Amino acid sequence: MRFGTLAEELNSITKDYDYGIVPGSAAVFVKDEVMGIGRLDLTLLESVIVVIEVSRQGYKIASSSPLSHDPKTLAAAERVQSCVDRECFDTMENLLMTASPLFHDRFQASLYDKLDNAQQLQYPPLDYSNPMAQSTIPSPPQQQAPSLSYPYNEQHTNVPPQPVLPPSSYTTVNHTTARASNQQDLMDEINEWIH
Task: Give the CATH number for residue 54.
Answer: 3.30.2280.10
d(CA 116, CA 123) in angstroms, rounded, equals: 10
* Together in a domain, 186 and 128: yes
* Together in a domain, 100 and 124: no
Q: How many domains does the chain have?
A: 2
In a domain, 120, yes or no: yes
Give the pLDDT score at 97.
Answer: 94
In a domain, 124, yes or no: yes
Mean pLDDT by 10 residues, the chain (195 residues): 80 91 94 92 96 93 95 94 87 93 93 86 71 54 49 49 50 46 66 63
In a domain, 47, yes or no: yes
Closest CA to 3 of 27, 38, 49: 38
* Together in a domain, 52 and 125: no
d(CA 131, CA 176) in angstroms, rounded, equals: 11
* Together in a domain, 82 and 118: no
* Together in a domain, 58 and 81: yes
Q: What domain range includes position 174?
A: 114-147+160-195
Amino acid at 143: Q
* Together in a domain, 39 and 96: yes
In a domain, 175, yes or no: yes
Q: Which ranges of the chain does DSSP label H, i.e. alpha helix?
A: 6-16, 71-81, 92-99, 101-122, 131-134, 173-194
In a domain, 154, yes or no: no
Give the pLDDT score at 26.
Answer: 94
DSSP annotation string for 12-43:
HHHHHTTTTBSTT--EEEEEETTTTEEEEEEE
* Together in a domain, 46 and 137: no
109, 19 Cβ separation under 8 angstroms: no
* Together in a domain, 22 and 91: yes
Domain boundary among 38, 72, 105: 105
Give the pLDDT score at 67.
Answer: 96
183, 160 Cβ separation under 8 angstroms: no
**For helices 92-99 and 101-122, angle between their N-to-C axes, nearest 10 degrees:** 130
Give the pLDDT score at 123.
Answer: 78
* Together in a domain, 81 and 53: yes
Give the pLDDT score at 4.
Answer: 75
In a domain, 101, yes or no: yes
d(CA 122, CA 120) in angstroms, rounded, equals: 5
Give the pLDDT score at 2.
Answer: 66
135, 165 Cβ separation under 8 angstroms: no
* Together in a domain, 56 and 132: no
* Together in a domain, 49 and 88: yes
